[in-house]
Amino acid sequence: MADWAPKRFWTAAGVTAVPGGFAVQLDGRPVKTPAKAPLVVPTPALAAAIAAEWDAQAKLVDPRTMPVTRAANSAIDTVTPNRSTVLGMIAAYGGSDLLCYRAESPPPLIARQAAAWDPLLDWAAQALNAPLRVTAGIVHVAQPPASLARLEAQLDSFSDFELVALHDLVALSGSLVIGLAAAADLAPADDLWRTSRIDEEFQAELWGQDEEAAEVVALKRNDFLQARAFLDLARAPGS
C-alpha cells in the first residue's frame, strides 16, 4: 500500500462516517489505497474489520495479514474503474463451469459428482432460469446463450465490493454456479468448497495426499472462506 510504512506509526485505528460510506483513520489520518484513493467502504462492519487489521499490526506492518484491507483496496482501485472487464471475467466461467464436466469413469466418482453437482445445477436452472448442459469428459460443450446471459445479468446486482468477493469465490472453485450459490447462502461456504474439490479428493483417497499439494489447497480453502466472509461484511446492515 502506497501510504504503508514498514513500521507501525500510529497509536489507534478508528472508523468515521464520511460522504459515501465509512472511512478508516489512523490517529485521525485517513487511510488510502495503493492508488491513493480514500479507503471508504460501504458498511460500518467492513470498516471496523479493516480497522481491526490495522490495530493488530505490531512493530512491522505485514499486508499478508490484512486480507480485508487488501480486498477493499481491490474493490476501489481495480473493480470500480474496470467494472465491465471484471464482470466479463467472472461471467466467462459460466461457459466452462466445473459442474458441467463429469468424469467418464469410475462409477463411484460419477455418482459422487452427480450427487453433489446436480442439485446446484438444478438450483441454477430453477432459481436463476439458467439451465446448463452437462457432458462427460473434457471436450467443451456450448452452453445456451440465454442461460449465460441470465447468469451474467445476476452479476450486475453485485456492488463493486461484493464483486471482489464473488470473483474469488468463482475463480477458486472454478464454477460460476458455486460462486453464486455461495453468495446466495445456499449452503455453508465450507460445504461448497468441498463440492468444488470432489475430483481431487477422490484421487487423494485412491493414491494418497501429497503434503505440498495439501498445503496449497488449505491456502485456497482459507481464501475461499475469507471471500465469503468479506461478502457478509460488504452487505452488513447498519450502513
Per-residue pLDDT tens over the stretch 165-195? 999 999 999 999 999 999 999 999 999 999 9
Per-residue pLDDT tens over the stretch 131-170? 999 999 989 999 999 999 999 999 999 999 999 999 999 9
In eight-state DSSP terms, residue 100 is G
CATH number of 13-80: 3.30.2180.10
Mean pLDDT of the chain: 93
What are the sequence ranges of the domains in the chain? 13-80, 82-235
In eight-state DSSP terms, residue 94 is G
Pick left, alpha or beta for residue 23 (phi over 0 → left; psi -120 to 50 → alpha; otherwise beta): beta
Closest by Cα among 66, 67, 14, 11 to 44: 14
% of the chain exceeding 90 in pLDDT: 85
Question: pLDDT tier at 4 (50, 70, 90 boundaries)?
Answer: very low
Per-residue pLDDT tens over the stretch 98-110? 999 999 999 999 9
CATH number of 82-235: 1.10.3580.10
Q: What is the pLDDT of residue 107?
A: 96
Q: What is the pLDDT of residue 6?
A: 60
H/E stretch holding 108 reads: helix 107-127
Phi–psi pair at 84, nearest 5 degrees = -65, -35
pLDDT higher than 60, residue 239: no
